[in-house]
Structure 1
């Protein structure tokens, strides 16, 4: 009941939700200065950018590889229809469970160790997935589905470790620029795998199964999945360099209380645990906004892998054939998402000082879901027969709204908590993000039957 009463409180009542000293932007848009903020480093920014890329690279590779998985499941209609939703459900459920456990273990957390563990796990998982494109090609669709769900679950554990570790670790720096770098890196991680998928399809001769499911060669798929291993390995090296930098370690020291115990090598800190309800009370609007934003977003992967070009397949170019057009749809959405994540980095373009406005914008994103029903789902025809409408209006605008609102949520939470609560708040906001993804992934099964 307390939360319901707060929901209907007037905008002027900010006693329980007011920006704390050191917030980066006042309600009038003027920037403020945080005496505890550390000196900005462009090198550190690029390391966090790369961490953002690695965090969602694996996730987006699974989505953009839909044509390859369609090939592997074309002998089983039920798996072919539902594998995308199953991927989303297993991935987000695994991430949510892991995030809950990791958030509860915040008191003695070593966030750098969690980040490194996630990168190592991603290297193992995607090496196995790459090998699967060259070996055991004769296994049944059901057996491959079990293998795919296992690697998806492994990748979800890595994502949870990375999200929890990175957002908590960057919060201790007290600089929104680094958080914005992470969000931008996540946007880049959505764009590049789609480009790699399209190039891999267009660079090999076209193939079609008897059922017409789009295909690509196992060789190109091997190279495609192996890039995730390379990205994770490069990020691991960059992060180790960041940890070895004495200046970066010194930046963290002033944010800790005198009685805190610090692991100098890995930044592990022993401090009091912050109750989740305390964080919810302070971050109610931003936590709710990030939950709704990513819950609604989870409908787009299911629709995107089903929507085809309105052009005649017999006469259109290969770019508009399903094997290339599906990742093209993902590419346009992720271009919009990247644009949305970059916009908050422009002075005066953030809404971190207006959390209730961010929440209202998150609710308004529901209007995008009916727009997908106007497109060419499953080749059955489109109400609006235009690829331009699908790619530029639906996909790009939906992506921009996701990137912009999500970035405002993840950049702005540090303004509403005390300095000693920043790391715990970073883990809490990541938990809300993954909870939204999980809720949306299970709701996406309704879209799969559309």
Structure 2
């Protein structure tokens, strides 16, 4: 049985025409209560990960005391646990094609629980042994990744039903969640001892994350976001299970664009933390968070301009988006060139080098956000029934998590190449 087509359902008081919806500007989007809800949930999707990442120095220094084995393996263990658990859970979720609206709230509730427990661990860390604290944090990281996957699976299914502008709202929200912590870290880098974070500060950091999830749930409930799925699905409707092959045939270039983009993008942290300042009036401890901020601002801008008419036009086909994602590989040799220049102690224009490198990072971030947003916005347009649109959320998330996982593995190769070159010179 086919589900009702969403073209028969008004777009929340707007003109039901897809063309009219596509012409909504970003300014209009953030003024709309429902779009603002999707934007805030997008922030809630990435905020927990950025919170744990931003607290890495606190865990390594204050909790695991710098020189212990737990401190040394913390960052790599966190990355591995997060990406693997997210990938496996996304694969499992993709086969369970129902209850998408409920998943949004369930995932956010789990995030609240995780960060309340993390706050308690930070407060009472002296009561427990280091191995117990380490294992507990890794378990919480895994639960947080699973919760994020659950919410993302649900919200992208809902966004696919509402339309492309709502998918863009989620994408922009994720970029906002990337910008804000990086700006904070850049500001903190000007303090006298940025490596030390008070327990009170970290508690506020963790509880803020729980607060973001609570606000997201309230907005989701108040604006009745899940009601549209109930409206278009008759009580006697039996949802069709959409096979992997159906989604892949219709979305292959879009999901391959997402996969390729994330694989290439994961080299960014490697170079951002190894290419040091040469001419700008910043220390290395300030330049690195500055580069992270620039990249995230580029990512945010790329997601905002994704709804420009030339990118939303049918002529900008999924295949062209895939080619666009492949062209981003050209950034890699450029980054290696800057890594090579970085080892030159007698460069003629160090300030120019820093400015060009900063510009390169901005465009690397811009193209990341641009490809990802356009790809997700075109997903509902490539599908026919609401069953396909709902289940596509889980299908696309598989390519997100596997792209991140493969990218993180390949980033170790970049580290090896950089270190090998540095030793040779």
Q: TM-score range by the shorter chain?
A: 0.7 to 0.9
Residue in structure 2 matching 1:418, options 358, 366, 384: 384
* Structure 2: runs of 5+ lacking an equivalent: 8-15, 419-425
Residue in structure 2 matching 1:293, options 261, 269, 291: 261
User: 1:156 & 1:191 partners in 2: Cα distance?
Assistant: 20
Change (3 A) 1:74 1:300: farther
1:178 correspondence with 2:169: no
CA contact (8 A) 2:86 2:146 kept: yes
Kindly report which structure 2 residues correspond to 1:315-330, keeping only aligned pairs within 5 A, or say none: 320-322=283-285, 324-330=286-292
* Structure 1: runs of 5+ lacking an equivalent: 1-19, 23-31, 208-213, 261-269
Q: Secondary structure at the match of 1:283?
A: helix
Q: Secondary structure at the match of 2:311?
A: coil
Q: 2:363 corresponds to which residue?
A: 397
Moved more, 429-438 or 324-333: 324-333
Aligned length: 391
Q: 1:365 corresponds to which residue?
A: 328
Change (3 A) 1:307 1:152: farther
1:129 correspondence with 2:118: yes
User: 1:198 & 1:34 partners in 2: Cα distance?
Assistant: 41
* Structure 1 residue 274, shift from structure 2 partner: 0.3
Change (3 A) 1:333 1:35: closer
Q: 1:116 corresponds to which residue?
A: 105
Q: 2:148 corresponds to which residue?
A: 159
1:276 correspondence with 2:244: yes
Q: 2:354 corresponds to which residue?
A: 387
CA contact (8 A) 2:307 2:374 kept: no
Q: 2:11 corresponds to which residue?
A: none
* Structure 1 residue 307, shift from structure 2 partner: 4.2
Kindly report which structure 2 residues correspond to 1:121-270, keeping only aligned pairs within 5 A, or say none: 121-136=110-125, 144-173=133-162, 175-202=163-190, 205-206=192-193, 214-243=195-224, 249=227, 251-252=228-229, 255-256=232-233, 259-260=236-237, 270=238
Q: 2:85 corresponds to which residue?
A: 94
User: 1:310 & 1:77 partners in 2: Cα distance?
Assistant: 33
User: 1:326 & 1:280 partners in 2: Cα distance?
Assistant: 39
* Structure 1 residue 417, shift from structure 2 partner: 1.2
What does the per-residue CA deviation read over 1:378-433, in whole Å, with 9 as the maximum and x for residues that have no partner?
x966889443233332x211111110000111110111111231111222112211
Change (3 A) 1:119 1:371: same
User: 2:279 & 2:56 partners in 1: Cα distance?
Assistant: 20
CA contact (8 A) 2:43 2:174 kept: yes
CA contact (8 A) 2:46 2:178 kept: yes
Q: Secondary structure at the match of 2:240?
A: coil
User: 1:182 & 1:413 partners in 2: Cα distance?
Assistant: 14
Q: 1:47 corresponds to which residue?
A: 37
1:303 correspondence with 2:271: yes
Q: Secondary structure at the match of 2:255?
A: helix
Residue in structure 1 matching 2:294, options 314, 317, 332: 332
* Structure 1 residue 83, shift from structure 2 partner: 4.0
* Structure 1 residue 36, shift from structure 2 partner: 13
User: 2:189 & 2:297 partners in 1: Cα distance?
Assistant: 19
User: 1:148 & 1:430 partners in 2: Cα distance?
Assistant: 24
Q: Which has the higher helix share?
A: 2
* Structure 1 residue 135, shift from structure 2 partner: 3.4
TM-score (norm 1): 0.76
* Structure 1 residue 374, shift from structure 2 partner: 4.2
* Structure 1 residue 355, shift from structure 2 partner: 0.6
Change (3 A) 1:325 1:127: farther
Q: 2:373 corresponds to which residue?
A: 407
User: 2:130 & 2:67 partners in 1: Cα distance?
Assistant: 7
* Structure 1 residue 159, shift from structure 2 partner: 1.0
Q: 1:346 corresponds to which residue?
A: 308
User: 1:200 & 1:153 partners in 2: Cα distance?
Assistant: 28
TM-score (norm 2): 0.80
Change (3 A) 1:223 1:310: farther
What does the per-residue CA deviation read over 1:336-381, in whole Å, with 9 as the maximum and x for residues that have no partner?
110110011223333664111111111122222333334569x966
CA contact (8 A) 1:21 1:34 kept: no
CA contact (8 A) 1:133 1:219 kept: no
Q: 2:50 corresponds to which residue?
A: 60
User: 1:229 & 1:375 partners in 2: Cα distance?
Assistant: 39
Q: RMSD between aligned alpha carbons?
A: 3.4
